[in-house]
Amino acid sequence: MTRAGLVLLATLGSVALLGGAFAFQFLGGMPPCHLCLLQRWPHGAAIVIGLLALIIPGRLLPWAGALAAATTSGIGLYHTGVERGWFAGPTSCTSSMATQGVSSKDLLAQIMTAPVVRCDQPAWVFLHLSMASWNAIFSAVLVLIWIAAALRRA
């Protein structure tokens, strides 16, 4: 496959993953948590990078695409770890709310301002893997495609 073909494949991969996330949100009624939203931004960057790489020759943009895909894959791995209890998640979207020494009024305020969507509870699971896990896996494949594009002669 040509470099342009690989770039197009990687770009369309990010389009598909981002489109899937939006479909789960708007068609499936599953609002994203904070970590889910963080995983979307690198896909957006990869799409822009891919479009530019189809116009501008060279290896720099495919390497940037690989970095974007690696970033979302890494966030997906972290999110998977939060969901499985391997890592502490952001206090803004996990159940680790501090209650020691907190007045009932302050505790109620924490509860009322807490986000509805939790990062430590998967909204959807397929084959024992959450959306975050699937994003990490598919994005890692996209990293390999981007690297192949960067190493391919024009």
Query: pLDDT (tens digit, 9 = 90+) per residue, 28-78?
Result: 888 888 899 999 999 999 999 999 999 999 999 999 999 999 999 999 999
The pLDDT, as a whole number, for residue 23 is 94
Mean pLDDT of 99-113: 66
Is the model's pLDDT at 143 over the cut of 90?
Answer: yes
Distance (Å, whole) CA 85 – CA 100: 21
pLDDT for 91 beyond 90: no
Give residue 101's pLDDT band: very low, low, confident or very high (50, 70, 90).
low
- Average pLDDT across the chain, whole number: 88
Global pTM value: 0.80
> Which range among 44-48, 81-85, 95-99, 137-141 shows the weakest confidence by mean pLDDT?
95-99
Among 64-68, 98-102, 116-120, 142-146, which is the least confidently predicted range?
Answer: 98-102
Residues 6+ apart with CB under 8 A from 63: 146, 147, 150
Check: CB of residue 126 under 8 Å from CB of residue 66: no
pLDDT (mean) for 95-124: 68
pLDDT of residue 136: 96
More confident of the two residues 141 and 105: 141
What domains lie within the chain, and their CATH numbers?
Answer: 3-151 (1.20.1550.10)
